[in-house]
Amino acid sequence: MRVNWLNCSFYIFISVNIDTLLPFVSATFILALMPGPDNLYVLVESLNKGRRNGVAVSLGLASGVMIHTLAAALGLSVIIGESEAVYFLFKILGAAYLFYLAWKAWNEKGIESAGSSYMETKRDPFFIMVRRGFIMNVLNPKVSLFFIAFLPQFVDTAAGGIILQMITLGSIFMIVTIFIFCSIALISGRIGNLLKSKKFWNGTRITKTLILLILAIGLLISGK
């Protein structure tokens, strides 16, 4: 049986009320641009290790959005929200992973260029950075709770197909996030290339470590 992907794509698109698309996209742009732990991490990672790393982390963080979207659409996020044990487990796992990344960031070693004060940084494999961003996003239970609260505001319950509408909205959220985060990575990566002094490199390394530590501690002490 052949599948007409154009018709499928069109059906998915029209599953969301057109009148809600503009407000939803506008809200998503604002949320992605607002200073927060994710885009701040993309910024510092790009400054420290270049735009390639920043883009990879951005793709990972954005792809994690679809996991939370599916969880919200299928009602799994409600389990996280209502079960103290499940929420606590995700919180501990997420914080432990962030502490691990902070430890790695603190122990990063730059390579000083011969005869100059510029620092060269060994870049991580692209897929490793995508995976890092993905895990950071998926293991944060507060993101799941956010999607439970955010996506249903733009769902037209009278139109039916609620799960399909939420998946569509989550896909749009992911696309907007990729655009904003990758833009941050490209711009800050360019700036980082112009400021590769040893002092600047150490500054971004320490800043990245502090951001990860703050995220980990914040996740541990946060409530629902």
Distance in angstroms (rounded) separating the CA atoms of residues 23 and 133: 27
Q: State in Å, rounded, how far the first CA of the chain is from the last one.
A: 46
The residue range of the domain holding 196 is 38-107+116-221
Model confidence pLDDT, tens digit, residues 46-99: 887 888 989 999 999 999 999 988 888 887 777 777 778 878 888 888 888 888
Q: Model-level pTM?
A: 0.75
Distance in angstroms (rounded) separating the CA atoms of residues 91 and 93: 6
Residue 26 lies in a domain: no
The tally of domains found in the chain comes to 1
Answer yes or no: is pLDDT of 14 > 70. Answer: no
Model confidence pLDDT, tens digit, residues 198-217: 677 677 778 878 888 887 88
Answer yes or no: is pLDDT of 195 > 70. Answer: no
Residue 179 lies in a domain: yes
| 94, 80 contact by CB (below 8 A) | no
Provide the pLDDT for residue 177: 93
Residue 61 lies in a domain: yes
Residue 23 lies in a domain: no
Of 200 and 197, which is predicted with more confidence? 200
